[in-house]
Structures are given as C-alpha cells and as structure tokens.
C-alpha cells in the first residue's frame, strides 16, 4: 500500500536510507544519518509543497519511499523537480518502486510541475529501467563525478515531461 509519509515513518525511512549509504553507491552520502536528520529532510520537502510517499507491507512496515524536491533554487526552475525512490533491500525488484513512482507521478501531474529529473549512479540497470518505464529518457552523463568505496563513479540524468 502507498500513502503519504507520517512522522512515525521517520525511523524506518532512515534505516532504509542508511543501508544505501553504507552498502551502495546509489547515494553519494558516506556518513549515516539520524532519524532527526531525516525528519528535517521530510519537513523541508513538505514545506516546499512537494509529495513524499511511503510504501508499506500488510504488517504496516515501511518498505520504501519516494518524493519530489526542488531541482534548483532559481525561480525559473519552479516547474521542475528531482525525484527520488528508495526501497528496502528485502523488497527490491518486486514492483514497490513502480508503485511509489506511480503515486508520485499522479500527484505531480495534478500540480504545476511539468518536468521530473532523476539522478542515477551508473551503472544501475534496475534504476535505469524504472525511470524509463515512466517515459523518462537519459539526457546527460557525467563521468567520474563521485568517489565512494575507493572508486570513481559516473552519474546519469533521466528526464520526463508530465504535461
């Protein structure tokens, strides 16, 4: 099930994200964050008027999340957002990311947002396919812009138009 994030989801979201910090190049953050850090991030997204959704299983456990956030601070970018999705490793590639993006895109289509941008550490075939499933296309590739786990990493940008 997909629903809007609640305050009591913060620790579960933090746990999911910290797994990626410690074990993946999907995020370029290198230090784990606290639940308070995540609560601030959720609040910032919500205060900006953007959606943040969580997926939960039948037991009510949060198994993933997706949100939209400001792409750039300049006013001319106000109709463009960066989108993000993370799924608990136990649920990876079982459709949770697609369900989250479906809810996120539906909400964004009802707003003034016209363009969505996804940033993907490359290679990441699963994430690339997820973004392309939502009619996003690769529009940029930056080589060796991140350094994590003793390796240089590339980043690709996927763009989609909602309207």
> What's 65's domain CATH number?
3.40.630.30
pLDDT at 94: 82
Residue 38 within any structural domain of the chain: yes
Residue 126 within any structural domain of the chain: no
pLDDT at 91: 82
Residue 124 within any structural domain of the chain: no
Kindly write down the DSSP assignment for every residue of the chain, as one continuous string.
-EEE--GGGHHHHHHHHHHHHHH-SSS---S---HHHHHHHHHHHHHTT--EEEEE-TT--EEEEEEEEES-SSGGGTTEEEEEEEE-GGGTTTTHHHHHHHHHHHHHHTSS--EEEEEEEES-HHHHHHHHHTT-EEEEEEEEEEEETTEEEEEEEEEEE--
Residues of the domain holding 36: 2-116
What does each of the 163 residues of the chain score in pLDDT, given as a tens digit? 999 999 999 999 999 999 999 999 999 999 999 999 999 999 999 999 999 999 999 999 999 999 999 999 999 999 999 999 999 988 877 899 999 999 999 999 999 999 999 999 999 999 999 999 999 999 999 999 999 999 999 999 999 999 8
pLDDT at 123: 94
Residue 103 within any structural domain of the chain: yes
Residue 85 within any structural domain of the chain: yes
Residue 20 within any structural domain of the chain: yes
Residue 142 within any structural domain of the chain: no
Residue 134 within any structural domain of the chain: no
Considering its fold, how many domains does the chain have in total? 1
């Amino acid at each position: 099930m997909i629903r809007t994030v609640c305050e009591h989801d913060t620790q579960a979201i933090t746990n999911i994200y910290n797994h990626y910090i410690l074990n993946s190049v999907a995020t370029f953050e290198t230090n784990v964050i606290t639940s308070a850090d995540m609560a601030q991030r959720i609040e910032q997204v919500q205060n900006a008027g953007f959606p943040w959704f969580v997926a939960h299983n039948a037991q009510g456990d949060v198994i993933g999340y997706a949100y939209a956030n400001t792409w750039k601070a300049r006013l001319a970018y106000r109709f463009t957002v960066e989108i993000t999705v993370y799924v608990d490793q136990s649920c990876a590639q079982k459709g949770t990311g697609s369900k989250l993006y479906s809810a996120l895109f539906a909400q964004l289509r009802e707003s003034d947002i016209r363009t969505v941008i996804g940033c993907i550490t490359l290679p990441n075939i699963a994430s690339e396919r997820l973004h392309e499933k939502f009619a996003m296309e690769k529009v940029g590739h930056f080589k060796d812009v991140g350094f994590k786990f003793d390796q240089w990493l590339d980043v690709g940008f996927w763009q989609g138009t909602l309207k």
